[in-house]
Amino acid sequence: MTAMDDGSAVTTFSAEPVNSKENRSLYEARKRIHPKRAEGFYRSLKWVVMAATLGVYYITPWIRWDRGEYAPDQAVLIDLANARFYFFFIEIWPQEFFFVAGLLVMAGIGLFLVTSTVGRAWCGYTCPQTVWVDLFLVVERAVEGDRNARIRLDKEPMSASKFSKRFTKHAIWLLIAVATGGAWIFYFADAPTLAKDLFTLQAPFIAYATVGVLAATTYIFGGLLREQVCTYMCPWPRIQAAMLDENSLTVTYNNWRGEPRSRHAKRVRAEGKLVGDCVDCNACVAVCPMGIDIREGQQLECITCALCIDACNGVMEKIGFEHGLISYATLAEYDTNMRVSGSQRIDVAGDIVWDPASIDPEKVRPQESKLNTEFKHTGLSSFIRPRTLVYIAIWCALGLGLLAALFMRDRLDINVRHDRNPLYVVLSDGAIRNGYEVKILNMKLEPRSFRLSVAGLKGASIWLAGGQDTAGKSLKVDVKPDQLKAMKVFVRAPRSSITAQKQGFQFVVETIGGQENETYEAQFVSPEGVVK
């Protein structure tokens, strides 16, 4: 780190972009990255997002939601044992899982929308990997100091103080990791009960195992592997990059105003040469958690965390230039601005690219210290265009469809399975009896009574197994709240009403009072020879 030779307050970092394409060999061992703490708008935004996402993750299972006496009072609960999913006022049975599938489709479309407009914002702000790495970096900085202190510490031989620092850091990391794994399991059981069991060693083994596995992955991914996860393990960057187009925001080094860069701007200018805004202080490299130099252009490693924007804006402020030497910009804007800056397009190995050497600083700043007004800056136009509107439309349509389905769904259902063996039984008076397994699903959180009857089979009577003396036109079934009741049901039809060897009829279940009803198309099977 050296001060600028022209005496300005800007500090220069001897930061090497370890993951820059040129520096990265496939045969090379990993080089540690020591990201420097950044300050600015995007860093603040990231603190807020981090607080919100971590808050949601840790607090959600503790929110209570009164569902009455027949269901758990946890707002968000995945009750695997009873095969129920609770989400505030919504309760989902396994066969209604398509709601979750629908939400996943919406998340997919949402990702298309977000990526096509603001690029890899998921990676940079909300991905758990990013959030937890940020959290682990906070700990690392607090214990070992910022970038330079950490680099020094790395080089030091092991000593008591180095060991205690390392030990403290890893201990806190492990604590966070355990808390992360610990919070996960609360989504699957009553949180207060499980917490008590967990600490008194009463919880089931699977709970501890889950905490252990998630603690290990959190510690390894967030503490040890960090950027390696994004660059080598995650398929997301490849998928997301494929969804970007020339109107998607990416973190861009605006070389139309930065080049030619110089660390000795005053001296060079005094020599009558032209210089751009970039003072080559490497602040953007020093803060990068991915170890790249954004000035080399878009790279797969870039998660668009925008910390280089913050770092650069700070420097621009100090030397009295406008913000935005590094900024969120679209490729379309970049192309326009390159043209405005007088840059020429050249052919490099078959690709037409801009030649930064041909940038004319006179065109960048026609009047001293004021940027050309023809430069384009990101406005709403990159958000509202046909592609994003189509995504928004699909997204809204899906959402409305799911909402409609949610409010119109049945809270009563019936499933019927015909006995396979025997298919029919001839009774002593010549009538035919068929057996069925009938399941009535009471999906409301209150005990309800239903009337189960048979329609479309003349003279038929129905009774529950073992209750032949109650045989009649219908039977009353009590079903517990939020439960399924399975029962063996016999249906008897006199020979006179048999019109086909396989005859369709309906099971009808209705609430007593008759607000809700469901029908099931069933078959009544008779032996050969009954129908003449």
Which residues are at the interface with another protein (CB under 8 A)? 25, 27, 419-422, 425-430, 433, 435, 465-466, 468-469, 490
CB of 422: closest distance to another protein in angstroms? 4
- Backbone phi and psi for residue 142, each to the nearest 5 degrees, phi listed first: -65, -35
368 or 429: CB nearest another protein: 429
Question: Pairing relation of β-strands 412-418 and 432-442?
Answer: antiparallel
CB of 420: closest distance to another protein in angstroms? 8
450 or 490: CB nearest another protein: 490
261 C-beta neighbours (distance < 10 Å), count: 17
Are the C-beta atoms of 390 and 374 separated by less than 8 Å? Answer: no
CB of 189: closest distance to another protein in angstroms? 27
238 or 420: CB nearest another protein: 420
355 or 419: CB nearest another protein: 419
DSSP letter, residue 423: S
Collect all residues with Cβ–Cβ distance below 8 Å to 456 and sequence separation of at least 6: 504, 505, 506
155 or 420: CB nearest another protein: 420
142 C-beta neighbours (distance < 10 Å), count: 12
Please name which of 529, 436, 531 lies closest in space to residue 491, comparing C-alpha atoms. Answer: 436
102 or 527: CB nearest another protein: 527
Single-letter amino acid, residue 58: Y
Please name which of 263, 371, 375 lies closest in space to residue 320, comparing C-alpha atoms. Answer: 371
Are the C-beta atoms of 415 and 520 separated by less than 8 Å? Answer: yes
Q: How far apart are CA 257 and CA 350, in angstroms?
A: 26
55 or 430: CB nearest another protein: 430
DSSP letter, residue 434: E
Tokens 């209570």 locate to 64
Q: How far apart are CA 187 and CA 54, in angstroms?
A: 14
Please name which of 461, 467, 464 lies closest in space to residue 450, comparing C-alpha atoms. Answer: 464
Tokens 């959402």 locate to 399
Q: How far apart are CA 397 and CA 210, in angstroms?
A: 37
Q: To the nearest 10°, the Cα dihedral for 297, 301, 304, 307?
A: -90
399 or 527: CB nearest another protein: 527
CB of 15: closest distance to another protein in angstroms? 25
Are the C-beta atoms of 219 and 174 separated by less than 8 Å? Answer: yes
Are the C-beta atoms of 165 and 153 separated by less than 8 Å? Answer: yes
Rg over CA atoms, the chain = 34
430 or 447: CB nearest another protein: 430
CB of 73: closest distance to another protein in angstroms? 30
25 or 367: CB nearest another protein: 25
